[in-house]
Structure 1
Amino acid sequence: MVRHAVGRREDVARLAGVSARTVSNVVNGTVQVSPGTRERVLAAIEQLDYRPSEVGRMLRSGRSGMVALVVPDLDNPYFAELARKLGEEGRRHGYTLMIEQTAGVRERERELLARADTKAVFDGLLVSPLALTDGDLSRASRTQRPVVLLGEEPHPGFDHVQIDNSVAARDAVRHLLDTGRERVVAVGAQRSQASSSSLRLGGFEEAMAGAPRASADVAYVDSFTRRAGAEATRRILRGRTLPDALFCFSDLLALGALRALHDAGVSVPEQVAVVGFDDIEDGRYSTPSLTTVSPDKAAVAGYAMAALVRRIGGDDGEPRGILAPHRLVVRESSGGEP
């Protein structure tokens, strides 16, 4: 077959013996076209190497085919893994995912959220806020573009996808108590009252309240990082009594704790059990492997993208709160099987 130069829509229509509008209907899938006509148009497209203008399609539909994901930090493996799942879900719905990082800075989060009020290049946003206030979200709830919230900051103006952080934390601590641990320290409380930290602390306290013979303590951190976990654990080890379990509010905190315990010659889990939260891939390969709360990232991504696509498609129903499942994955750091 002789291949012509890249053709125009009119050239395809002439070769296929149809109108230019029929060519558009075949390309965009907006109108049902008979199988025979569709085959002729596709053959002409192949022969002429016709490539529809994406810019033109955007102008006609008012959509770009792109959605934005706003997260604090892709250096955190949890957000990196969630972004990958969201990208897969986006492609399944025909969307390309753009990613913006905020470092948890309120001004940056507000700036990105404000873009939804403008003629932004994306059709909607998935936002995992750390610093936005209720007032910030209230102003943004009147946006012309759809926004779905991820994480622990619900707002009545938006669809919102999260796991039950309090119940998940309670499950993790009850696991430690059920294995005979009696001196449990929560590593991850934050004086800023960040929602994820507060909710996980609430679950910790609820579980410990059901075990009157056990003792509870709290180690504060300034961030959910390996460094913060190691520093908090070193402070704990300088105390009078060695705890027999650490419940860390993130896997990164737990990995830092494992390092500090190793450096101090404390064996895990024989002397101190460690449980994390997030089920990042690093925890599966740490030594010992890390017991952790595993949010269903695939479910979070699926629910969030489906909600955003519904809004982009014109759904103006009441905002929905969607609860994704979680499970406890027991590994070596709390005495599970290798």
Structure 2
Amino acid sequence: MATMRDVARRAGVSPMTVSNVVNGHENVRPETRARVLAAITELGYRMNTAARGLRRGRSGIIAIAVSTVASPYEGMISAALAEQVARAGYDPVIELTGHRRAGELDAITHSLLRDHDGLILHSAHLDEHDLPLLRGRHPVVVLSEREYDEGFDQVLLSNVDGARAATTHLLDAGCTRPGMIGGRSTPQGHEDVLSVRAQGYRRALEDRALPLVPSAVLPAPYTFAGGAAAAHELLEEHPRTDGIFCATDVLAVGALRALHERGLRVPEDVKVIGFDGLDLGRYSTPSLSSVVPDHAALARVPVELLLTRLRGERLAEDHRREVIAFRLEERESTRR
């Protein structure tokens, strides 16, 4: 059985560094953390399992790793995933990655070392160099904002198509100068939700032979305050903006507040549409149009993929990529 010293030798680090990675300390560089995790995976290093796990041969635990449970969207998805895991007879454990690549690497490490039966990882920050860590024997399903190469099970939102549909809806509603909040018009390193939803916005403009104005696509923290601040900035730079596609419903609700503060009417002066289909959009004033992913499938499909893996119903090389469907729900914020 591999020891911590074996892992240290394979990774070219000290045993203390391995210990820091195993225990989730933050004073380890992401590159070093990834190297240690790769060694752990190659050598099959494990911590001591609980007595229950030794008796059953499994821990009975499935980990769910998300950035935070404080945001309305991730809180909703975390709760729905945990409910599905519990229904399957497993104990769900929530791990918070804190919107950090190191946090996502830690989640993989902890799931391996604690002998969790499997891991559902909402990934926004892993890059191509990290992908081999997901292709080991440990069952992992990745909820991702972008498509990765084959080699592990993935569940994807229809980010590009959904953003394209939202922007097209604004154009069909009569908008001629729509902007975007929560996007990035130019690539910056690896793809993430900012860039992939901006792709859909751009494609909708191209469909109508409309120019992309980079300064009308604003990144923003995915918070209510971030949406409000970005909407103010957008209207200062482009006062004739008549439609706003917001990359999340939270941003859109913040934008609604900013438009109210500026004395602009929604939808008469500016139309607003969000993405995520959160219940809060039903109760905003005006109610919020939104791209609504199939929330039930988003919770069910990752668990089903993990269970078929745990039950041995698929060959090791049989990896699946599932794309979650969506619908566009028109409410008061975009009505003519």
Shift of 1:183: 0.8
Distance in structure 2 (CA, Å) of the matches to 1:253 and 1:71: 19
Q: Distance in 1 between matches of 2:83 and 2:103?
A: 26
Q: Give 1:219 shift.
A: 2.9
- Tell whether the 8 Å contact from 1:145 to 1:312 is kept in structure 2 after alignment: no
- Give 1:150's aligned residue: 143
1:125 and 2:123 correspond: no
Letter in 2 for 1:198: S
AA partner of residue 93 (structure 1): A
TM-score (norm 1): 0.78
In structure 2, the partner of 1:195 is 192
Contact in 2 for aligned 1:77/1:280 (Cα 8 Å): yes
Instruction: Please tell me whether the aligned partners of residues 225 and 256 of structure 1 are also in contact (alpha carbons under 8 angstroms).
Output: yes
Partner of 1:298: 296
* Shift in Å, 1:117: 3.2
1:43-54 → structure 2 map (5 Å cutoff): none
* CA distance 1:270–1:325, change in 2 (3 Å): same
The answer to whether the 8 A contact 1:225-1:252 is kept is yes
Q: Distance in 1 between matches of 2:210 and 2:108?
A: 48
> Highest Rg: 1 or 2?
1
- 1:322 aligns to 2:319 (yes or no): no
Corresponding residue for residue 258 of structure 2: 260
- The Cα shift of 1:292 comes to 0.5
**Closer/same/farther in 2, CA of residues 215 and 162 from structure 1, 3 Å limit:** closer
User: What residue is the counterpart of 1:312 in the other structure?
Assistant: 310
Output one character per residue of 1:192-243: Cα deviation in whole Å (capped at 9) or x when no partner: 4542221111111111112236775533224222222111111122135321
Separation in 2, partners of 1:56, 1:117 = 17
Once the two structures are superposed, what CA deviation does each residue of 1:314-333 show, in whole Å capped at 9, x if it has no partner?
A: 33242110011111111111
| Kept after mapping to 1: 8 A contact 2:124/2:193 | no
Q: Match for residue 267 of structure 2?
A: 269
Q: Residues 313 and 182 from structure 1, CA distance in 2 versus in 1: closer, same or farther, beyond 3 angstroms?
A: same
- Structure 1 residue 114: deviation in Å? 1.8
Alpha-carbon distance between aligned partners in 2 of 1:131 and 1:274, rounded to the nearest angstrom: 28
Deviates more, 1:237-246 or 1:92-101: 237-246
SS at match of 2:237: coil
2:208 to 206, 211, 228: 211
What does residue 55 of structure 2 align with?
60
Q: Bigger shift: 269-278 or 199-208?
A: 199-208
TM (norm. structure 2) is: 0.78
- Helix, strand or coil for the counterpart of 1:309? helix
- Whole-angstrom distance in 1 between the partners of 2:135 and 2:144: 17
Separation in 1, partners of 2:188, 2:72: 23
Question: What do residues 54-92 of structure 1 show as CA deviations (whole Å, max 9, x unaligned)?
Answer: x76532321122111111111111111111211221122
Matched, 1:96 2:70: no
Match for 1:327: what amino acid?
A: R
Is 2:267–2:334's contact at 8 Å kept on the other side of the alignment? Answer: yes
- 1:286-332 superposed Cα distances (whole Å, 9 cap, x missing partner): 11111011111110111100001111223324211001111111111
Partner of 1:178: 172
Q: 2:238, 2:323 → 1: CA distance?
A: 41
Partner of 1:231: 229
* 1:213–1:131 distance in 2 versus 1, CA, 3 Å: closer
Task: Let me know the Cα RMSD of the aligned residues.
Answer: 1.9
Q: Which moved more, 1:78-87 or 1:246-255?
A: 78-87
Among 65, 70, 93, the residue aligned to 2:65: 70
Residues 293 and 319 of structure 1, relative CA distance in 2, 3 Å threshold: same
Structure 1: any 5+ residue segments left out of the alignment? Answer: 1-54
What SS does structure 1 have at the residue aligned with 2:99? coil
Query: What is the total number of aligned residue pairs between the two structures?
Result: 280
Q: Deviations over 1:104-159 (max 9, x none)?
A: 112121111123432x15211000112212212213422x3200000224432210
Q: Which consecutive residues of structure 2, in runs of 5 or more, have no partner in the other structure? A: 1-49
